[in-house]
Amino acid sequence: MPILARILRERGLVTEPQIELAIQHQVLYGGRLGTSLHELGFITEDGLTQALSRFRGVPGLKVDPREIQPEAVALLSKAVVGKHKVFPYRIRGKTLFLLMVNPQDHTALAKVSFSMGYVVKPLIVPEFRMIQLLRDHYGIDERWRFDDTYRPPVLDPVPEEAEAGSRRLDAALSRDEVVEALLAVCMSFFRRVAFFIVREPWVLGWAGLGEGMERGFVASLGVPLDRPSVFRDVVRDKAVFIGRFSQEEEDRRFLKSISKRPGTTAAVFPIVLRGRVVNLVYGDGGPAGNVRGELGELLALAQKVPRAYLRIIRKRVAETREAAGGVPGH
């Protein structure tokens, strides 16, 4: 959001280095720029809400939990609010005050207005506040916070050789395209593969390919980093694991969740950016199969992933600077 970045900078709410760090955070973890700025502690909710209001031309609102009307919440289904990222805040006469992340979502406005028979008054709130509201009042999993706002994920299930995968990584313009390219190559080495986002204190499943590794299932996986496991060891040591999982409780729980037979081998390797593990990749030979030992070509290609991230970060920083009227990027 180059325009939002310009508004924030003009108001003195954030500095250019802070915007650059937030863009890096956004590339790695998805979500909107304002969410990254807030999570990094660079901006208050009030400051961000006011900037979003100016950016979108829609009034903002500081949410007061005491003003949330249960009868308003009951108007919309979990499916509707989850799809459109909206929250019915309160009713006044025939007017429904609807909190929105994107007030320009005319489809959502029309659906709510026509189906409910209310005049809808949109009010903008930051993405992270919407995440909290949908979680607390509708029980919606907050992992949509990690959605890549630059491109919806469309994973290619066709295995690719390393050379083709390398070209895809070099051409990737978003995190999801990087993930797609990496997983497609991994399928030449494994029967099943899963991609994880590392966000302390959790390793969170994000995408997968192969038997039983559909995206919806992988997104339900999570491994805590405050308890012993292979995943914790790989994150702590920044080292590749190939072998049999341990008998630790978290390892046994993970293997059971993916129907992996104990005693068979699997691989877990890290994606390290600027000295920090940001992703983990799990691969195996199927529920009862072993992984092959020759993974050198794959691990070498995986080194291109952090370089792809950095290239995307630099490109977005440069675009944001140019659009915001700053000095061209480094």
Per-residue pLDDT in tens (0 to 9) along the chain, 330 residues:
578 998 999 999 999 999 999 999 999 999 999 999 999 999 999 999 999 999 999 999 999 999 999 999 999 999 999 999 999 999 999 999 999 999 999 988 988 888 788 999 999 999 999 999 999 999 998 888 998 888 756 655 667 788 888 999 999 999 999 999 999 999 999 999 999 999 999 999 999 999 999 878 999 999 999 999 999 999 999 999 999 999 999 999 999 999 999 999 999 999 999 999 999 999 999 999 999 878 999 999 999 999 999 999 999 999 988 876 654 343
CA distance 289 to 284: 7
Go through the chain and tell me how many residues it has: 330
Structural tokens at position 229: 């496991």
pTM of structure: 0.89
> Which CATH number is associated with domain 162-312?
3.30.450.40
| The CATH number of domain 65-146, selected from 3.30.300.160, 3.30.70.120, 1.25.40.20, 3.20.20.220 | 3.30.300.160
Number of Cβ within a 10 Å radius of residue 215 = 16
SS3 call for 316: helix
Map tokens 């083709």 to a residue: 164
CA distance 159 to 166: 13
Q: What is 137-153 written as a DSSP string?
A: HH---GGGGG--TTS--
Cα separation values, 95 from 3, 67, 82, 321, 330, Å: 31, 15, 21, 40, 49
End-to-end Cα separation, the chain, in angstroms:
19
Q: Which of 325, 320, 328, 323 lies closest to 27 in space, CA to CA? A: 320
Instruction: Return the exposure string of 64-76: e unless at least 16 CB atoms fall within 10 Å of the residue's CB, then b.
Output: eeeebeeebbebb
Do 257 and 284 meet the contact criterion of CB atoms below 8 Å apart?
no
Cα separation values, 313 from 9, 16, 271, 320, Å: 19, 14, 16, 10
